[in-house]
Structure 1
Amino acid sequence: MAAAVASSCCASTSARPLLRPTFCRSGNPWWACGGRKKTRPLSISATAAASPSEVDFAGSDTAGADDDAVASLKIKLLSAVSGLNRGLAASQEDLDRADAAARELEAAAGGPVDLENDMDKLQGRWRLVYSSAFSSRTLGGSRPGPPTGRLLPITLGQVFQRIDVVSKDFDNIVEVELGAPWPLPPVELTATLAHKFEIVGTSGIKITFDKTTVKTKGNLSQLPPLEVPRIPDNLRPPSNTGSGEFKVTYLDGDTRITRGDRGELRVFVIS
């Protein structure tokens, strides 16, 4: 889901002891005696007197150990959510296991996410690998949405989030397959729910809905995109305000964890 360039640099320096020149029998430095350079390690007292940047290698070892621990916890989390169909097939036991693994990774990060300094890490296209709210068996998660299963012939495909930190665009992209009566093939389409976002506090994100665009795929891919009319605000259900808030609880170059305003846990990987 942190690079260790600094630690690897320090580790290569620590592979050899600090050296200082010795002296020949006359008491002069080695270069005044015409002999070959001889060196010996600095004494403990001399090493202790050196600057921290020269002798403090323990920090790099600790950083490497921390990076290994985080990498292990990321694997543990992704293993916990694998095979759950992004959460649609999750049982209560699966939900608990995924939540516990996410909390371990969040704790290993050493503190809350600071989006003011790490805004660039949000940039890109992220693939959703798990949502705890999908266990409710609706495509809207904890919010109103079409049900999955036999009631409607809807098959959920990949789900992405496309974030542009410059334009403040935040798009939820959902691939869906709609069943059709035999012998007609199913209809494949991609729905893009466009939002604008803003940072709230240090780790919070607030998104405000803009519009929904639907584009067909497969045999119907030549059809132009269709913008779905927006429901007027006075007809919109109170539970569907068009905006939402969540916190980014873990973020690095390839993994992101968020916790929503309705307790929803989501796990993303960079795509």
Structure 2
Amino acid sequence: MTKTELLGAIAGLNRGILASPRDRKIVAALAKQVEAANPTPDPFGAVDKLGGDWRLLYTSSQSLLALDRSPVVKLGNIYQCIRPQQQLIYNIAEVYGVPLLEGVISVLARFEPRTEQRAQVYFERSIVGFRNWLNYYSPSQFIPQLQSSRPLAALDLPLNSNDQQGWLDITYLDQDLRIARGNEGSLFILARV
């Protein structure tokens, strides 16, 4: 029941963009209850459950939600695509606004499990480009382009992973829902695509 309550509580919050302080407290409390019933205590060992493309349903990360505060650009879907066998994470945010200038912001990271729930994350590459120029349709179609050695028609910048790193705790994982917490205190609730 609590998982259903959590999903109901976040349903109208537009990934957290519309969340009031009261909403954030309610979501945090419900998330803790769901996390207490985590059916997968070792998510990094459960590669079949962990791997795949996940769509962000809710976050408390103000830096991520700030992408929606521009008067010109609005935040579309956000995905976190995890490839456990390669220890890679692809974060992909779709942005829109001015017609024909829809974009994609992607950050690629490598991760190393440190405990059953925590991974150290090393951010290695940032890609910003227009959807049309990148021929972007979906994360599953886009990731092979990112893995290719062919240059992309985008701003493609290497990141210094020594400076750009953090950790991620996966606190709940089942077949269709994942809850994670980041090193900046942010809560992330994602659904399998």
TM (norm. structure 1) is: 0.59
Query: Taking structure 1 as reference, are residues 178 and 241 closer, same or farther at Cα in structure 2, changes over 3 Å only?
Result: farther
Of 188, 192, 210, the match for 2:106: 192
* Shift in Å, 1:77: 0.7
Measured after TM superposition, the shift of residue 93 of structure 1 is 0.5
Paired position in structure 1 for 2:23: 94
Q: CA deviation at 1:242?
A: 1.2
Aligned residue pairs: how many?
Answer: 178
Residue in structure 2 matching 1:119, options 37, 47, 52 = 47
Q: 1:38-72 deviations in whole A, cap 9, x for unaligned?
A: xxxxxxxxxxxxxxxxxxxxxxxxxxxxxxxxxx2
Alignment equivalent of 2:90, drawn from 166, 171, 183: 171
Query: Do the aligned partners of residues 153 and 243 (structure 1) sit closer, same or farther apart at CA in structure 2, a change above 3 Å counting?
Result: same
Mind listing any 5+ residue stretches in structure 1 that lack a counterpart? 1-71, 180-184, 234-239
Determine whether 1:108 maps to 2:37: yes
- Equivalent residue number for residue 262 of structure 1: 184
Comparing both structures, which one devotes a greater share of its residues to strand? 2
Q: Which digits, 9 at most, give the CA deviation of each residue in 1:117-170, with x for residues without a partner? A: 32331100000000012xx3x43x5xxxx5543x54120000001111111111
Structure-2-length-normalised TM-score? 0.81
Q: In 2, distance between residues paired with 1:232 and 1:246?
A: 18
Query: C-alpha separation between the residues in 2 aligned to 1:244 and 1:116?
Result: 17
Kept in 2: contact 1:115–1:199 (CA 8 A): no
Q: Report the CA distance between 1:186 and its aligned residue.
A: 5.0
State the distance in 1 between where 2:135 and 2:182 align.
37
Rounded Cα–Cα distance in structure 1 between residues aligned with 2:163 and 2:182: 15
Q: What's the counterpart of residue 246 of structure 1? A: 168
Please tell me the residue identity of whatever aligns with 1:162: C
**SS of equivalent to 2:45:** coil
